[in-house]
Structure 1
Amino acid sequence: MTGNRGGCDPPFFQDTQFTNGGFVEGRFCQALLPNLTCCLPCPLTDWAYPESFKTMGTAADWVSVAGTVCCVFLLLSWAFLPVEKTHRHYLSICLTSAVVLMNLGFIIPLAGKPEQCFDEITPNSMETSHLCAASGAFIIIGGWAGVMWVFLRSLSLHLQICWQVVVGRNFMWFSQAAGWGIPAIGIIVSLLFSGVSFRFGSTCHINHTNSMADLWIPLLVFSGLTIVVQFATFGYCIKVYLASLADNSASTEGSNLPSYTNSIRTMTPRQAYRRVRRVIALQWRGIAIVIIIVIDVIFFSVVFVFQDNTVQRVKKDPSLAIEWLGCLLTHPDNKEACVHLAESLVVNMATIGAVLVLLGMNGIWLLFLLGRFTMFTAWRDLFMSMIRRNQREFVSADARLDDLKKDIRSYEMLSRDSGKTMDDVVTPATVTPISAAARSPLRSPSMNRDFAYNPPTRGTANDGRRTPDYFGHTVRYHTPARSFSSPRPPQSVTWDARQTYAPPGRYAGQGDDDDYVNPLGMNRT
């Protein structure tokens, strides 16, 4: 016997050789003599399971990483994309956040690689390992939040289908208070009265003391209520469907919903069936995710409770493990030779692996059921719009090239090739608005007379082209003849035929009275 093994044979250690640090209750010890207690080395899973147990745990943690990535994608989509592309809802957002919290309990040990043991026989607890405290707390609060939000989602669907209640703002505030308030109380009670430590694998779980009262029973109660509410909803749907098959009323053949609000309670079986079918068609994704998550939580709770009770039973009655412990004494350096003897004392590795993988896959199920293809197209459109915004090409000091081609108000543009003004580039097809107006046949002589216009010319000496300066001329202002902007009597107005090009002598005040023809009475007999 060497080192601190005391009077115990390998691979066991004597407990009196160690301090009381770490989680002492997590030691697996057996009293051989009144003053001799031998303990199995830490961690216990290394001796009860084969070497592949660590590989299985690491693989399950990576599944949790994949599930977290899916959840983060959903949360970002709901946060930044339009609601018509994502169909976001607070029940979906909160449920996804709860799954992220649970997955963090498995991701933290994967990233931090914490030391499971305080010494050779004692596992670490939340008092001696911060990573243990963080991972255990995230698993508990994530499990609590996941159970509460699937219960609230199931309750919301039940109220809509079975009781025709339109859930609104009051139900939303109630859901926020219950969905996050109860998990907050649950995590405080669990850490205060039980605590967490390294029990199975690299993730910390709740300790055995008081765990049934402060965690497992409340979780199973809410999970059971969720199942009861869900099956009650299914039962009502089946009842409505069977009633619709027996409904032969001709008045309901062409009607889907009642025509007024109060008739919701007196609708025919066929109308009720159509309403229920429409609600289920819209909510089937939520129904599926509720069933999946509640089954995972119940499965995890049952397996862990069974494992915890088995270990505690062996501690109280060491004779149950005498054959396995004797094998370890015979083969202290070859634990694989004794693993098969421990199968009856622990939950088999396949079941534990299935539980961990199913918990990690919750995020993937959320993306598959709550995600939509329009999310991907919306992200694509968002990125393409950002790329197009960054690729704008400016060829003028104040406009883009495309705007210059369309905007005829730009009179001085830059050449794309040389940077010169367009006056220096010979382009016969260049037309400006004022030059076009100068050639317009609709321009009256009076308009030409109104412009006091002596355009200065500019241009190069080589090409002989002259460009008038259209911004240098002035326009004389004539006060309108019938302007009443000042307090003065109106001036008399005369008809000048020369300004209108009308033939003289055809209207009143022009020519002889005998030649005047009244246009309103010219066809009278």
Structure 2
Amino acid sequence: MATNTTARGGCPAPFYQDTMFTNGGFVDGRLCQALNADTTCCLPCPMTDWAYPDSFNTMGIAAEWVAVVSSICCVFLLASWAFLPVEKTHRHYLSICLTTAVMFLNLGFVIPLAAKPEQCYDEITPNSMQTSSVCAASGAMLILGGWAGVLWVFLRSMSLHLQICWQVVVGRNFMWFSQAVGWGIPLLGIIIALVFSGVSFRFGATCHINHKNSLADLWIPLLVFAGMTIIIQFATFGYCIKVYLQSLADNSASTEGSNLPAYTNSIRTMTPKQAYRRVRRVIQLQWRGIAIVLIIITDVIFFSVIFVFQDNTVQAIKTDGNIASDWIACLVFQSGGDKNKCLDQARPLVVNMATVGAVLVLLAINGVWLLFLLGRWSMVTGWRDMIMTVPSRNKREFVSVDARLDDLKKDTRSYEMLSRDSGMKTMDDQSVTPSVVTPLSPTVKSSFRSPSVNRDYSFPASPASPTNHESGRRTPDYFGNTARYHAPARSFSSPRPPQTVTWDARETYARSKATPPYPEEDDTGYVNPLGMNRI
């Protein structure tokens, strides 16, 4: 026992004396207690390896793989909204931004899984964001995803509340307000959290915010927005219940067969049944968003409460050694440093492993919920159609012109419109378009007689018109015969001779017939337009 104590700097196994190590890493993350005035003993890093069984690491890796699946779901949703038409996806900026926020949250679990970082700087000191870039990236993504997720579910619940309870049509102004709040506050929040608190390895392979100032710069603001979201959501539910109860008491016969208010310009004139139909319609369209709001808010509140409780317990052990005296005595005197024999004494000091696993899995699985609630089967069919149309488009680009002519000849309707002596152009500047026979092309000369004036109008034959003698068909002459107009006996629409109109030149200030011709008018009747304004 004495040899083991000397090897660890005067501390019993499994503890180490803090003076044997430098001040590198996150020094405040050490779990140490003063053995006497000159000796301070610290628990080996990481603390979770001594307070939980070995299956704790396996549970953490399982949660990280769940986050990988969740990230794939988010990528599928974002890609579908970006590349597929809107009728296939029904995309909305509230859904897009919420999915992006959940993607950031998942990256806080995926980055440690891919990088496999070292949690400890030395035997008793965990790494922080200053000593590990993986820690900085994972902690920043976790805080940013948590902030953005809470803000976007808050904005989504506010949008639904304005539409249902206040009949406000949210438009472009609310969209810009949402973008400013939904991304501005998370960016400000992550800067404040990293500057005044920082992140380190404290709870598994993912870095979390440190205890210093964490309540003021992260947990309390998150819980405030989460609380407001729940209040708004339950206020909306209360209004829906109120409208439903009023509709049950409404026996007005005038509203049973109508879904519209009495005056379409004022929604206040709606009867209770009409209001209930409108609210029911909105809920039918927005129930997926309501479910997403409740799920994410529950996850964030659950995680916040559990982590704050665990953080406060660790700080209490640092300040008061009597809280963990039974566990320390078991490790030093009863088990000889074997943690498995002292897990029963450590259980009151930490959060239950089943609860921790539930928190991690619920945070990591949000992307799957988004795909289940916001995804549509039309997205799958849209990707299938897009993939199938690319080979067919490339195939059509290499089809020869002769093959197109064969496809055209297979159609009987197009065959009747083709002439036998008409050809197709090949690639050496010959005729491409087949000659199309129309009723006007084969006419040689035709005329018709105007019903009002006894005058014939003749149409000369076109020299390029085919006669179709070689094909064995004769196109009928539609304009060869003269069409005469026969007016009915009692018709009032027959042409009449123009009536003679008499007028007095003195009343109109015009020249009389005895006045000589205008200077601008010659013998042929031509009038110079530039001389019309002359005096």
How would you bin the TM-score normalised by the shorter chain?
0.7 to 0.9
Structure 2 residues without counterparts, runs of 5 or longer: 410-417, 428-433, 447-458, 467-478, 491-535
User: Which residue among 66, 69, 94 is the counterpart of 1:66?
Assistant: 69
Structure 1 residue aligned with 2:389: 385
1:110 aligns to 2:123 (yes or no)? no
Task: Say how many residue pairs are matched.
Answer: 448
What SS class does the counterpart of residue 33 from structure 1 fall into? coil
Deviations 1:28-61 (A, max 9, x none): 1111110011111100000001110000000000
- Cα 1:121/1:394, change in 2 over 3 Å: closer
Deviation of the 1:87 alpha carbon = 0.7
Structure 1 residue aligned with 2:169: 166
Structure 1 residue aligned with 2:219: 216
Structure 1 residue aligned with 2:48: 45
1:178 aligns to 2:181 (yes or no)? yes
User: Which residue among 364, 370, 377 is the counterpart of 1:373?
Assistant: 377
- Cα 1:448/1:11, change in 2 over 3 Å: same
Structure 2 residue aligned with 1:306: 309
1:26 aligns to 2:59 (yes or no)? no
Cα separation, 1, equivalents of 2:489 and 2:271:
74
Q: Tell me whether 324-333 or 348-357 shows the greater mean CA deviation.
A: 324-333
What SS class does the counterpart of residue 200 from structure 2 fall into? strand
What SS class does the counterpart of residue 266 from structure 2 fall into? helix
Structure 2 residue aligned with 1:411: 424
Structure 1 residues without counterparts, runs of 5 or longer: 415-431, 454-498, 508-517
Q: CA contact under 8 A between 1:24 and 1:123: conserved in structure 2?
A: yes
1:325-404 equivalence runs, <5 A: 325-329=328-332, 330-392=334-396, 394=398, 396=400, 399=401, 401-404=403-406
Aligned-partner residue type, residue 278 of structure 1:
R
Cα separation, 1, equivalents of 2:52 and 2:147:
29
1:244 aligns to 2:247 (yes or no)? yes
Aligned-partner residue type, residue 124 of structure 1:
N
Cα separation, 1, equivalents of 2:465 and 2:24:
103
Q: CA contact under 8 A between 2:262 and 2:269: conserved in structure 1?
A: no
User: Which residue among 17, 41, 46 is the counterpart of 2:20?
Assistant: 17
- Cα 1:197/1:403, change in 2 over 3 Å: farther
Cα separation, 2, equivalents of 1:59 and 1:300:
17
Q: CA contact under 8 A between 2:262 and 2:270: conserved in structure 1?
A: no
Percentage identity across paired residues of the two chains: 68
Deviation of the 1:316 alpha carbon = 1.1
Cα separation, 1, equivalents of 2:316 and 2:236:
41
Cα separation, 2, equivalents of 1:85 and 1:63:
27
Q: CA contact under 8 A between 1:64 and 1:361: conserved in structure 2?
A: yes
Deviation of the 1:138 alpha carbon = 0.7
User: Which residue among 289, 294, 298 is the counterpart of 2:297?
Assistant: 294
Cα separation, 1, equivalents of 2:327 and 2:489:
129
Deviation of the 1:451 alpha carbon = 7.1
Aligned-partner residue type, residue 354 of structure 1:
A
Once superposed, which parts of structure 1, at least 4 consecutive aligned residues long, lie more than 6 Å away?
Answer: 440-449, 499-502, 521-524
Deviation of the 1:266 alpha carbon = 2.1
Q: Tell me whether 322-331 or 95-104 shows the greater mean CA deviation.
A: 322-331
Deviations 1:256-283 (A, max 9, x none): 0225443301211111111101110110
Structure 2 residue aligned with 1:232: 235
Q: CA contact under 8 A between 1:4 and 1:14: conserved in structure 2?
A: no
Give me the CA root mean square deviation: 3.2
Deviation of the 1:360 alpha carbon = 0.8
Cα separation, 2, equivalents of 1:449 and 1:292:
78
- Cα 1:318/1:252, change in 2 over 3 Å: same
Aligned-partner residue type, residue 355 of structure 1:
V
Deviation of the 1:412 alpha carbon = 5.5
1:255 aligns to 2:258 (yes or no)? yes
Q: CA contact under 8 A between 2:14 and 2:44: conserved in structure 1?
A: yes
What SS class does the counterpart of residue 33 from structure 2 fall into? strand
Deviations 1:375-432 (A, max 9, x none): 1111111111012112237453xx3623553176653669xxxxxxxxxxxxxxxxx7
What SS class does the counterpart of residue 44 from structure 2 fall into? coil
Q: CA contact under 8 A between 1:109 and 1:131: conserved in structure 2?
A: yes
Deviation of the 1:320 alpha carbon = 1.4
What SS class does the counterpart of residue 30 from structure 1 fall into? strand
Cα separation, 1, equivalents of 2:321 and 2:147:
35
| TM-score (normalised: structure 1) | 0.79
Q: CA contact under 8 A between 1:12 and 1:39: conserved in structure 2?
A: yes
Aligned-partner residue type, residue 202 of structure 1:
A
1:277 aligns to 2:280 (yes or no)? yes
What SS class does the counterpart of residue 151 from structure 1 fall into? helix
Cα separation, 2, equivalents of 1:62 and 1:350:
17
Cα separation, 2, equivalents of 1:133 and 1:449:
84
What SS class does the counterpart of residue 197 from structure 1 fall into? strand
Deviation of the 1:105 alpha carbon = 0.7
Aligned-partner residue type, residue 179 of structure 1:
G
Q: CA contact under 8 A between 2:135 and 2:201: conserved in structure 1?
A: yes
Cα separation, 2, equivalents of 1:354 and 1:326:
31
| TM-score (normalised: structure 2) | 0.78
Deviation of the 1:433 alpha carbon = 4.7
Q: CA contact under 8 A between 1:195 and 1:206: conserved in structure 2?
A: yes
- Cα 1:345/1:520, change in 2 over 3 Å: closer
1:87 aligns to 2:90 (yes or no)? yes
What SS class does the counterpart of residue 200 from structure 1 fall into? coil
Deviation of the 1:521 alpha carbon = 9.6
Deviations 1:448-476 (A, max 9, x none): 995799xxxxxxxxxxxxxxxxxxxxxxx
- Cα 1:7/1:255, change in 2 over 3 Å: same
Q: CA contact under 8 A between 1:196 and 1:207: conserved in structure 2?
A: yes
Cα separation, 1, equivalents of 2:251 and 2:330:
75
Deviations 1:275-322 (A, max 9, x none): 101110110000000000000000000000011011111111111111
- Cα 1:500/1:142, change in 2 over 3 Å: closer
Cα separation, 2, equivalents of 1:522 and 1:113:
101
Deviation of the 1:4 alpha carbon = 5.9
